[in-house]
């Protein structure tokens, strides 16, 4: 260990020591056959096998970290791609020096600044939503107008193939543009972005997730893809857009455009502050999308933020309220031409449900609809999971992805055209739902095609029509065919390389089968005034969405706010809860499925209830920890960083200080992050050693953190050979009070620590407070996810 840096290996002969883990926590190093835990498990129980499994995996991983891929943890190696964010508040000497300089006035200034920034995040998110909405409306107006004229002309002159060609051509052009942007500029902009935002808030550094180019691709892409007639919505991407806006504005600089650095807001350039702003941005996105400020706050709480406090709730609510208010002004002024009448709080407008009471006796029906939503959602998720799996293995080059986008675009248009062509559902014009411009197609004069009204419209307008259309506006066969086709298309489409929201297709599918339930009720109870198809459409929409995404409280509140109807709170809640319960029996929500398929180490809400009390830190921690000393030779640090991929290293005492070492184990003095070691090498934060000190002025916090959030790689730092024998003093830069637990600490307790404190690393010590292991949030995510499956299996077998 001379030289100061290395691996804390077990002392020779330690194995032969008589080990009593109850007396000496260092017993965790003992050979497994001496472990009292295993001796207790004479007939190997499932838990015994599980413990052994994790122990052997950890050992094997440490021997062959790069190659080791256990069959049941194949995803571990891939998870290494994702680093964690630092949500822990550290107290290094240089940080404390800066913090102690702050006066009450500075604190007050920061509080005000946080509110101001959130206010601007709300405004910018509203503008982004408005721009997307206007773009879609303009493009759709021209596209639908053009095709409608062609269809009207060609139904008379028998040239419908020409109209079909125009329709397909326009869709390919529009969706193709979105696909090109995603495939070749910002692949992370694909999908709704909700899983990515969720992971970011959970503490995972998702590459490029909050970059400017992601925002631009997302906004323009969703505009083209929705206008291109895909079975997607613009609302999900709004949440991601809000998050990117927040991440950019709160930092006062752009990492993509290097010269765009205002040099303001430096105090917010860290993961903890940025996470809070991103929570606000995501809430503003929901708020702008659905006109649901409270739903936005709850969404951030339910889906995203792992760490929450009252101040944050209040600030995020302010941000989402700003977003909905500004969007309301913009839409009322520029779209309705009436700035005084603020009546458009969100992009999607479900319309008002007035004079639509429900009976208590209908509640069982709403529950049944919830069950149907759960079943349909589970089937949706299961098929989409298999499809995504297939895509990941067979459609992974940008060109192949683009080709797939174009193929699904053609398929969508063909299905839409076929449905309109073959449906025989002409209805008199008076019955036409208010906001649609009806398509006559093969119908007589003064009639319209009901299927055409559903498909030849923006999805948002179709939802509104299903909610508010008159009783006989849609025949049952139209609704059934439409629901099946839309369900299947939405299932294929989610996961394509285009920005796409899941909310609207789910709502639309649910609204159509919900309305079908309404039609059935109307035929069972002819003439009953309480049978209003619109209310079943509403419950169906909520059930379907909950069956797919499995959100509960935020979804209920979003729908209540979007419909402006508290009366339906209970039926919606019942449908949502039952859809979730039934869906959860079969699989997870679609966002979680996608997160798992990408091997992202997401920390779940809670540890597995039974297993978490049976496993202790010593069962799953990493051993043979790579540490650094308080004083190190530069060459040793440089070599360590070049050979190790770890992002944090426990700091142990200087080797001449004999009192801290016992039997090759050491007492932890602190933790130091890889990025700080690299910054020290980069800025030559080292010097010659004089006694126990290094002759070098401390680096300022600014220098240490100036590269945030894109820390340089060690390969980009050049350390001259002649510096190798100089010394680096880590005492000013290490976190002197990292969180420590005993080796016997239960998984449940460790889990709570990680969740509540936002930890990234946790040091494990024995009864003598000597370093024996390390647990990272990735270790924890792995083990809890693995055990979740084990619990699942167990519950099925027993």
Binding segment (CB under 6 A) for ligand ATP, from list 80-88, 265-273, 406-414, 741-749: 80-88
Segment lying near ligand ATP (by CB under 6 A), choices 267-275, 285-293, 304-312, 772-780: 772-780
Q: Among residues 114 and 760, whose Cβ is nearest to ligand ATP? A: 760
Single out the segment in contact with ligand ATP by CB under 6 A; choices: 79-87, 90-98, 176-184, 543-551: 79-87
Contacts of residue 492, defined as CB under 8 A and 6 or more positions apart, other chains included, come to 387, 408, 411
CA distance 694 to 448: 85
Count other C-beta atoms under 10 Å from residue 211's C-beta.
19
CB of 784 to ligand ATP, least distance (A): 14
Using CB under 6 A as the binding rule, the residues of this chain from 373 to 412 that contact ligand ATP are: none
C-alpha radius of gyration, the chain, whole number? 30
Rounded to a whole number of angstroms, the minimum distance from the CB of residue 644 to ligand ATP is 7
Closer residue to ligand ATP, CB minimum distance, 271 or 460:
271
Look at the block and give the residue holding tokens 């683009």.
402
> Angle at the Cα of 447 (from 443 to 449), degrees rounded to 5?
60
CA–CA separation, 484 and 489 (whole Å)? 9
- CA-nearest of 659, 655, 656, 650 to 628 is 650
Cβ proximity to ligand ATP, 83 vs 133, nearer residue: 83
Task: Closer to ligand ATP by CB, 85 or 439: give it.
Answer: 85
Residues with Cβ within 8 Å of residue 690, at least 6 apart in sequence: none
Residue reference for tokens 């509104």: 464
Based on the shown chain and the rule CB under 6 A, indicate whether residue 80 belongs to the binding site for ligand ATP: yes
d(CA 310, CA 40): 46
- Shortest gap between Cβ of 778 and ligand ATP (angstroms)? 3
CB of 98 to ligand ATP, least distance (A): 24
- Is the peptide bond preceding residue 709 cis, with omega within 30 degrees of 0? yes
Among 366, 448, 638, 649, binds ligand ATP (CB under 6 A): 649
Closest approach, Cβ 665 to ligand ATP, in A, equals 14
Kindly tell me the burial class for residue 544, based on how many C-beta atoms sit within 10 Å of its own C-beta (0-12, 13-18, 19 or more). Answer: buried
Q: How far apart (Å, rounded) are the C-alpha atoms in residues 770 and 624?
A: 13
Instruction: Compute the distance between CA of residue 721 and CA of residue 504 in angstroms, rounded to an integer.
Output: 60
Judged by CB under 6 A, the residue of 333, 647, 662, 769 near ligand ATP is 647
E-only strand ranges, 269-413: none
**Helix, strand, or coil (residue 740):** strand
- Write each residue from 617 to 646 as x if it is in contact with ligand ATP (CB under 6 A), else as -, in one continuous string: -----x--xx-------------------x
Nearer CB in complex with ligand ATP: 54/224? 54
Least distance (Å) between residue 628 CB and ligand ATP: 9
Q: Are 730 and 632 in contact (CB under 8 A)?
A: yes
Which position among 779, 785, 787, 790 is part of the footprint of ligand ATP (CB under 6 A)? Answer: 779
Does residue number 498 form part of the binding site for ligand ATP (CB under 6 A)?
Answer: no
Q: Are 644 and 6 in contact (CB under 8 A)?
A: no
Three-class secondary structure of residue 602 per DSSP? coil
How many residues belong to the chain? 798
Residue 87 or 366 having the CB closest to ligand ATP = 87
Q: Residues 579-618 vs ligand ATP: string with x where CB under 6 A?
A: ----------------------------------------
648 touches ligand ATP by CB under 6 A:
yes
CB of 750 to ligand ATP, least distance (A): 12
If one asks whether residue 116 binds ligand ATP (CB under 6 A), the answer comes out as no
Q: Which CB sits closer to ligand ATP, 629 or 760? A: 760
Tokens for 785, please give them. Answer: 């996810």
Output 483 or 603, the one with its CB closest to ligand ATP: 603
Among 25, 83, 436, 499, binds ligand ATP (CB under 6 A): 83
- If the CB atoms of residues 416 and 649 are measured against ligand ATP, the closer one turns out to be 649
Q: What residues does 670 pair with on adjacent strands?
A: 651
Compute the least distance from the CB of residue 797 to ligand ATP, in Å: 29
By C-alpha distance, which of 47, 75, 57, 24 is closest to 616? 47
Calpha distance 365→699 (Å, rounded)? 68
CB of 664 to ligand ATP, least distance (A): 16
778 binds ligand ATP (CB under 6 A): yes
**Which residues lie near ligand ATP (CB under 6 A)?**
80, 83-84, 622, 625-626, 646-649, 760, 774, 776, 778-779
């Amino acid at each position: 260990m001379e030289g100061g840096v290395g691996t804390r290996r077990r002392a020779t002969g330690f194995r032969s020591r008589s080990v009593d883990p109850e007396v000496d926590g260092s017993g965790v190093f003992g050979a497994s056959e001496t472990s009292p835990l295993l001796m207790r498990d004479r007939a190997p129980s499932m838990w015994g096998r599980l413990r052994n499994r994790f122990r052997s995996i950890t050992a094997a991983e440490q021997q062959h970290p790069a190659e080791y891929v256990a069959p049941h943890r194949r995803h571990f190696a891939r998870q290494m791609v994702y680093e964690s964010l630092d949500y822990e508040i550290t107290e290094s000497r240089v940080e404390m020096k800066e913090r102690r300089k702050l006066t009450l006035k500075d604190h007050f200034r920061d509080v005000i600044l946080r509110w101001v920034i959130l206010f601007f995040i709300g405004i910018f998110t509203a503008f982004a939503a408005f721009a997307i909405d206007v773009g879609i409306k303009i493009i759709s107006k021209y596209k639908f107008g053009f095709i409608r004229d062609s269809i009207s002309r060609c139904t008379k002159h028998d040239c419908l193939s020409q109209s079909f060609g125009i329709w397909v051509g326009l869709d390919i052009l529009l969706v193709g543009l979105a696909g090109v942007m995603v495939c070749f500029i910002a692949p992370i902009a694909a999908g709704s972005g909700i899983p990515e935002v969720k992971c970011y808030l959970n503490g995972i550094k998702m590459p490029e997730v909050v970059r400017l180019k992601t925002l631009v691709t997302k906004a323009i892409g969703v505009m083209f893809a929705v206008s291109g007639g895909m079975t997607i919505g613009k609302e999900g991407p709004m949440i991601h857009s809000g998050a990117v806006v927040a991440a950019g504005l709160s930092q006062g600089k752009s990492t993509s455009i290097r010269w765009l650095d205002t040099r303001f807001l430096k105090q917010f350039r860290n993961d903890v502050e940025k996470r809070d702003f991103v929570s606000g941005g995501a809430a503003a996105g929901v708020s702008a999308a659905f006109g649901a400020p409270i739903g936005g706050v709850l969404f951030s709480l339910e889906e995203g933020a792992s760490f929450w406090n009252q101040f944050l709730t209040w600030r995020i609510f302010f941000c989402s309220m700003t977003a909905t208010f500004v969007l309301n002004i913009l839409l009322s002024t520029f779209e309705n031409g009436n700035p005084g009448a603020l009546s458009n709080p969100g992009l999607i407008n479900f319309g008002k449900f007035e004079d639509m009471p429900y009976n208590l006796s209908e509640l069982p029906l709403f529950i049944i609809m919830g069950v149907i939503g759960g079943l349909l959602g589970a089937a949706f998720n299961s098929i989409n999971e298999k499809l995504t799996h297939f895509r990941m293995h067979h459609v992974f080059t940008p060109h192949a992805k683009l080709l797939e986008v174009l193929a699904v675009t053609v398929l969508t248009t063909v299905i839409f055209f076929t449905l309109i062509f073959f449906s025989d559902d002409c209805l008199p014009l008076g019955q036409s739902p208010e906001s649609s411009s009806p398509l006559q197609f093969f119908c007589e004069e003064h009639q319209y095609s009901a299927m055409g009204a559903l498909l030849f419209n923006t999805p948002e307008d179709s939802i509104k029509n299903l909610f508010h259309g008159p009783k006989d506006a849609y025949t049952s066969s139209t609704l059934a065919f439409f629901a099946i086709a839309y369900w299947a298309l939405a299932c294929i489409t989610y996961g394509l390389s285009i920005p796409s929201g899941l909310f609207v297709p789910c709502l639309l599918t649910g609204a159509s089968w919900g309305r079908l339930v309404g039609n059935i009720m109307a035929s069972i109870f002819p003439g009953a005034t309480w049978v209003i198809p619109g209310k079943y459409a509403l419950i169906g929409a909520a059930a379907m969405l909950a069956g797919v995404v499995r959100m509960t409280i935020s979804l209920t509140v979003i729908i209540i706010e979007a419909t402006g109807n508290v009366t339906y709170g209970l039926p919606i809640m019942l449908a949502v809860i039952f859809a979730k319960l039934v869906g959860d029996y079969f699989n997870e929500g679609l966002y979680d499925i996608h997160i798992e398929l990408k091997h992202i180490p997401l920390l779940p809400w809670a540890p597995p209830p039974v297993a978490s009390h049976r496993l202790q830190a010593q069962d799953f921690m990493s051993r043979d920890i790579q540490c650094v000393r308080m004083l190190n030779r530069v060459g040793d640090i440089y070599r360590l960083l070049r050979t190790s991929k770890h992002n944090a290293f426990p700091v142990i005492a200087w080797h001449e200080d004999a009192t801290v070492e016992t039997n090759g184990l050491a007492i932890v003095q602190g933790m130091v992050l890889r990025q700080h070691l690299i910054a020290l090498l980069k800025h030559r934060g080292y010097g010659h050693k004089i006694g126990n000190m290094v002759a070098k002025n401390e680096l300022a916090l600014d220098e240490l953190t100036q590269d945030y959030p894109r820390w340089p790689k060690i390969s980009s730092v050049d350390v001259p050979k002649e510096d190798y024998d100089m010394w680096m003093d880590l005492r000013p830069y290490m976190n002197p009070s990292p969180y420590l637990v005993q080796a016997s600490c239960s998984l449940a307790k460790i889990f709570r620590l990680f969740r509540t404190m936002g930890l990234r690393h946790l040091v494990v010590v024995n009864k003598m407070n000597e370093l024996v292991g390390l647990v990272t949030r990735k270790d924890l995510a792995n083990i809890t996810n693995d055990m979740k499956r084990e619990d699942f299996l167990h519950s099925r077998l027993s």
